[in-house]
Amino acid sequence: MSTSSSIDISISAGHALHMRPPHVVMDLERLGSLHQSRLSFMRSLVRKIMREGWRIEPRRFDLDAEGYGTVIYRVQTNVDLFSFVLFSQYLDPDKRNDRVIASEWDLTMSLCEGEVDDDYVEYLRLNVPLQEAGRLDAKVMVLSRANRSVRNFDSVVAALSAGRQPEVEQIAQVGYLYRTTAVYGSGKLGMADWEKVNGKHPDFARPFAAEMFNCFMLRNFSLQQAEHIARQRAPETAVPMHPPLKRFFGIGNSTGLGMAPYLINHPQLISRWIEMRELALARVRGLGQITVERLARLHSLVERGVLHIQQTVTEDAWQTDNNRQVLDDFAALQDWLGSQRLESWAPLLSWAEASLSLQAQELLNCILLELYPELVDNLEDRFALAESLDLQPQMLASELLSLIEQRYAWALAIDFEADGATETFWYRSEEKQEPRLGNCNLENGSDKQMPLGIGYLAQQCHRQLGAYLAEHPEHCTASFLLRHPEQRGIVRRMQSMAKTHYGEIQANLLDREVLPMHLLRCKLAFFGVSKFDPRSRLWVRNTMFQGAPLLEDIGQPFEDDWFLPLAPTREVC
């Protein structure tokens, strides 16, 4: 797909950065091919923790021999104080369920402002283990829960108890001890909303920073809990886990359809996220000087990418095929690099665009970002955005028509009369208030659908606006909306999104064949997850913080080099 109509952004007199155009970047399949990068929220959070030297230590560690009890971590940043409160309880194996319908979990936890006294801990104990069935106050910033990995937890504890290190090969199969199934924030269930967190707590003023910190802490607790149980079971023989092996453990995650509507309901924010990533890539492409050292680093990271994907285990046939394709693509990439004398990155990116799959292209883009932290990292504070969809009633209706035809041409090109083009509808379940997909031909309830079919709404508005202008060519938008008030929401959205760099995700989300997985992966890539393993077209397992520093690493030299983590060798372990 050609990028000849790239966006030019002036950076100084006589210079411009060339950013890929919306029709390339906002394609749903490409968004579903993104990978973690150094701008992902986990990476930027860990950089902040390590460089500022946050002091994180257990203030209370009351666990019995089986690891059940209460743990409170005191989190002292440069400017603030927080408490991470965790409850560990026995869970009947028959009740262990990663789906949203679950009502009990191995661990439940919350991130709170300031210190927590005994009375407040008891208040949390009555509510946090209930999750959605409980109620919290605005002192709580994040609520979450997690279940043990049946395949890993017991075997790791058994190995440590016997004085052995866990088997690297087994960890590579499932790279975590716990898997979280929900991480709630931003005002849900009475917690602090984003406006409070963003305004009062600068440490967590980046998007989803508090939620990512919750997962970072869960990952570290899981390792400490496993070592604690091993010591309790066999105090004479138990050994701690070797640090390289501990760093290879991440935290598992199961993400379902509930995350998908976020990308549609927060279009300005998503456009900003994409813009910052594309600006970083444009900086590398336009300003990145090629040196012997950076070329060597490129070759090293390409090889690391190959090994990382070879070590990625997926049960999903579709993702397995994608991973195999990336391996083939990266073999071709290595051959191509070996035959070139590069003086700029433009030839490489042009060749990749013409020769590689989307997932391989985007992985290469992330590798290039790793080469230039000085060009990339200062964008991490520009991901937050105060969203506001503002109606412009004074805009001429003819101008609105032109705006739709220019910025929503992708929507006007969709044939919504085609078979299956409007077969899917999105709705919220009555019981859990979670997004679901319905089929218009098989199920009732399309009248309850969520307004996520932006392309369809844009096309319908364009049709009515054209008919209105045939009668009233001089009227403004306000007059059109007096005739068609039901168009107010989509008009406001289109007027506002026309001011953004990248605008809407260019896809028909009502189509029979739509893959919500692409939406999930896009958002998860910005979070910083890896090792995507779809369980259906509606939910995916993945791994968070694998390779990241440990709590005991804070204060030690930090190189921020845990991109595409690899299993440690037996010699290191």
CA distance 179 to 326: 27
pLDDT at position 14: 45
**How many CB atoms are closer than 10 A to CB 296?**
10
Closest by CA position to 533, among listed 240, 315, 385, 301 = 315
Which pair of structure tokens corresponds to residue 96? Answer: 């262990």
Specify if 437 maps to a domain: no
Same domain? 239 vs 314: no
Instruction: Provide mean pLDDT across the span 498-504.
Output: 96
Q: How far is CA 419 from the centre of its chain?
A: 33
Is the pLDDT reported for residue 570 higher than 80?
Answer: no
Which pair of structure tokens corresponds to residue 280? Answer: 């970083």
Specify if 409 maps to a domain: no
pLDDT tier for residue 533 given thresholds of 50, 70 and 90: confident
β 250-255/176-184 pair status? parallel
Specify if 509 maps to a domain: no
Report the domain count for the chain: 2
Specify if 2 maps to a domain: no
Element (DSSP H or E) covering residue 402:
helix 397-407
Q: How far is CA 280 from the centre of its chain?
A: 18
Same domain? 241 vs 286: no
pLDDT tier for residue 13 given thresholds of 50, 70 and 90: very low
CA distance 464 to 472: 12
Same domain? 229 vs 111: yes
pLDDT digits (tens, 9 = 90+) for 400-433: 999 999 999 999 999 999 999 988 877 766 555 6
pLDDT tier for residue 1 given thresholds of 50, 70 and 90: very low
Instruction: Provide mean pLDDT across the span 541-568.
Output: 95
Domain limit, last residue, from 332, 358, 385:
385
Same domain? 93 vs 111: yes
Specify if 457 maps to a domain: no
Of 39-43, 212-216, 319-323, 459-463, the poorest mean pLDDT is in 319-323
Specify if 196 maps to a domain: yes
Same domain? 310 vs 219: no
CA distance 270 to 268: 6
Same domain? 112 vs 23: no
Specify if 442 maps to a domain: no
Domain limit, last residue, from 349, 368, 385:
385
Same domain? 84 vs 217: yes
pLDDT at position 429: 62
Instruction: Provide mean pLDDT across the span 139-153.
Output: 94
Same domain? 211 vs 283: no
User: Helix or strand or coil: residue 144?
Assistant: strand
Domain limit, last residue, from 385, 415, 432:
385
Supply the pTM of this predicted model: 0.93
Query: 355 lies in which domain range?
Result: 7-38+267-385
Same domain? 27 vs 82: no
Which pair of structure tokens corresponds to residue 51? Answer: 């460089």
User: Helix or strand or coil: residue 452?
Assistant: coil
Same domain? 234 vs 85: yes
Same domain? 55 vs 154: yes
Specify if 429 maps to a domain: no
Which pair of structure tokens corresponds to residue 133? Answer: 């069935």
Same domain? 322 vs 221: no
